[in-house]
């Protein structure tokens, strides 16, 4: 458990230092898994995840592989809001676990890292999960 909440950029650096990245979410099942993991640790507000808006093409991408957030996303209603920030947080106060865009530098939140287990020959879907938040 990390002793303090960080900005999105600081959180990504912390995850990277641990050989991972902010969480990439590829399905509703994964979204629910990450939400449950956060709630089980009493994170009941927002939580940084690994989507960001690319400055090159304005598309929303995942930090770990730079692929577009297109096959699955859970942005809430009108989100992402233009000008509302270029990074993403999951709303953990609701089981909908919807996403919003947020400021990358100033919004300090708990965050979740995902690290793939590259030792596995058979599947890249195995990963370890780390949740960091202030206590």
The tally of CA atoms less than 13 A away on the side-chain side of residue 78 is: 4
Render pLDDT for 24-82 as a digit per residue (tens, 0 to 9).
999 999 999 999 988 988 888 899 999 999 999 999 999 988 889 988 999 999 999 99
pLDDT mean across residues, the chain: 86
The DSSP-derived string for the chain is: --SS-B-HHHHHHHHHHTT-EEPP--SHHHHHHHHHHHHHTT--SEEEEEEEE-TTT--EEETTT--BS-S---B-TTPSPTTS-SEEEEETTSTT--EEEE-TTT--B-EEEEEE-TT-SS-S--EEEEEE---
What value does the mean pLDDT take over residues 96-110? 95
pLDDT confidence band for 126 (50 / 70 / 90): very low
By DSSP bridging, strand 21-22 and strand 111-116 are: antiparallel
**Domain positions in the chain:** 8-132
What percent of the chain stands above pLDDT 90?
Answer: 64
Measured between its terminal Cα atoms, the distance across the chain in Å is 8
pLDDT of the residue at 59: 94
pLDDT for the residue numbered 122: 42
Per the model's pLDDT, the better-predicted residue between 124 and 38 turns out to be 38
What pLDDT is attached to residue 45? 82
| Whether pLDDT at 21 is above 50 | yes
Q: What CATH code is assigned to 8-132?
A: 3.10.100.10
> Taking 60 as the threshold, does the pLDDT of residue 84 lie above it?
yes
């Amino acid at each position: 458990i990390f002793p303090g909440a960080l900005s999105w950029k600081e959180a990504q650096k912390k995850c990277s230092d641990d050989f991972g990245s902010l969480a990439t979410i590829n399905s509703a099942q994964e979204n629910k898994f990450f939400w449950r993991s956060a709630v089980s640790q009493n994170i009941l507000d927002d939580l940084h995840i690994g989507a960001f808006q690319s400055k090159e093409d304005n598309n929303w991408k995942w930090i770990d592989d730079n692929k577009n957030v297109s096959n699955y996303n859970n942005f809430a209603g009108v989100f992402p809001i233009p000008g509302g920030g270029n990074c993403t947080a999951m709303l953990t106060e609701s089981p909908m676990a919807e996403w919003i865009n947020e400021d990358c530098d100033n919004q300090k939140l708990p965050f979740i890292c995902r690290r793939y287990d590259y030792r596995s020959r058979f599947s890249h879907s195995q990963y370890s999960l780390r949740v960091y938040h202030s206590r």
